[in-house]
Amino acid sequence: MVRVGLVGGGSIGHSHASSVRQIEGAQLVALADIAEPVRQKFAQEFGILTYPDYPSLLAQAEIDAVIIGLPDRLHCPVTVAALAAGKHVLVEKPMAASVAECRTMVLAAARANRKLMVGQAHHFLPTIRKAREIIQSGTLGQPVFLRDALIYQHWAPKRQAWFFNPALAGGGAVIATGVHQIDRMRWILGSRERTVSASWSHRSDVPDLEAIGGWFVRYENGCAGQFLSGSHTAYTGPHEYEILCTRGILRGTSWGKLEAIDEAGVAQELDLGERKSHILEEDRAFIQAIARDEPVPVDGQWGLEVLRVIEAVYESARSGKEVHV
């Protein structure tokens, strides 16, 4: 039995709590959160112990693993502390606020001989998993160009306040949601990024956090990609992507359908199998890796490489120049 503690009881923490309870071989045992109402809610809903700070939770010897769902700039110190306490760690995306912090976390996991997984949950979306399968099979030929767009309001009223605080958030739309887009396309393609060119737009009242990020990527395999994340308006569009290949096109949305278009222009919707919660499947993979002593599917080095691209996006947007990743 893998006994799990949560650090952070926000919306993503609640999603993880609900998922862990559904996994055979896992037991949700505790939560650490600074807010008393949150602790009361989790205690009542899940029947678990709660603590007002994470050191108190990490001191509990019976806890085998922790899931960290905190503001970006807290990921590194809490992860390092958890690993030093002998816990396996699943840390939410983005892995941290900088590549330097990611490197510290990877080294801490190696020293502690514990597993470190990064919550890039799009690896567990049926459309993304199927897209990777199709591209890697070569059925549609070589990928040559892609676009990935998520039009959404980063400053949505229901978001937690820390998203808008530069002291806690690693950035705006790019690191909050663009991290998914960068992650999933490099995974689908199986290729690293070579260069990035970027631009952004900010709200006048929050000049340090971008409301919109747009960037162009050249990949090592010859493919190129156009990305867009964020909006100044309340409109939310579909999280959609297209991958243009030499013998067809793959077109899909994150939570919708995926279709392949052949050379004659004929579209076929692809069977995605049973649709399951991507958070549930992510947590299941983490628990299984611990129970079986196997590598986690999204490790710290992968999370570090994704942050390397994000840093390149920010550097390019600030300088107005193309940046090598």
Q: What is the DSSP string of 57-103?
A: HHT-TT--EEEE---GGGHHHHHHHHHHTT-EEEEESSS-SSHHHHH
Res 157 pLDDT > 80: no
Indicate the CATH number for domain 2-120+279-298.
3.40.50.720
User: Terminus-to-terminus CA distance in the chain, angstroms?
Assistant: 41
The conformation of residue 121, written as its DSSP 8-state character, comes to: G
Please give the mean pLDDT across all residues of the chain. 96
Number of C-beta neighbours around residue 251 at 10 A: 18
CATH 3.30.360.10 fits 123-273+307-324, yes or no: yes
Q: Hey, is 202 helix, strand or coil?
A: strand
Task: Map out the domains of the chain as residue ranges.
Answer: 2-120+279-298, 123-273+307-324
The order of strands in the sheet holding 206-219 is 267-269, 258-261, 248-253, 240-245, 143-150, 224-230, 206-219, 193-203, 323-324
Residues 6+ apart with CB under 8 A from 107: none
Q: What pLDDT, in 10s, does the model give residues 262-316?
A: 999 999 999 999 888 999 999 999 999 999 999 999 999 999 999 999 999 999 9
Closest CA to 46 of 27, 65, 33, 59: 27
- For residue 118, name the pLDDT band (cuts at 50, 70, 90): very high
Average pLDDT value for residue range 121-132:
97
Average pLDDT value for residue range 71-87:
98
